Amino acid sequence: MEIFLKVKVIVKYFATIREIVGKREDILEMDEKSTVKDLLVYLSRINGEKFKEYIYKVGTERLNENLQFLVDGRNINTLNGINTELHDRCKFVIIPPVGGGS
């Protein structure tokens, strides 16, 4: 008998992405050893096409390079990219582009 361990992931939403999902955060239960890619696939499924279109480059499965994806405050590009493993109680944040001043 296989035992599947779970981890809780806290997902925080800001700006446009908050408007798309209609909330500030989620606490999701994922399988142990889940990655950022697994989380984004799941979030796309539960939040619909508009979410998916915002996260990924149009017509691809490549992430929108204008967004930053953080795990516990660290950009996934400095970790293991979309293959970064999630751990129990980690915080995952999607940060949209920030407009500058003059």
- Spatial contact of 90 and 10, defined as CB atoms under 8 Å apart: yes
Pick from 96, 78, 95, 84: which is nearest to 9 by CA?
A: 84
Q: Report how many domains make up the chain.
A: 1
**How does pLDDT run across 28-62, given as a tens digit for each residue?**
999 999 999 999 999 999 999 999 999 998 878 89
Distance, in Å, from the CA atom of 31 to the CA atom of 78, rounded to the nearest integer, reads 23
Looking at the predicted structure, is the pLDDT value of residue 3 above 70?
no
Band (pLDDT 50/70/90 cuts) for residue 89 is: very high
**Strand, coil or helix: what is 55?**
helix
Q: What is the residue type of 81?
A: G
- Spatial contact of 86 and 34, defined as CB atoms under 8 Å apart: yes
Domain that holds residue 64: 6-95
pTM for the model: 0.90
Provide the residue count of the chain: 102
DSSP tag of 56 = B
Is 71 inside a domain boundary? yes
Is 84 inside a domain boundary? yes
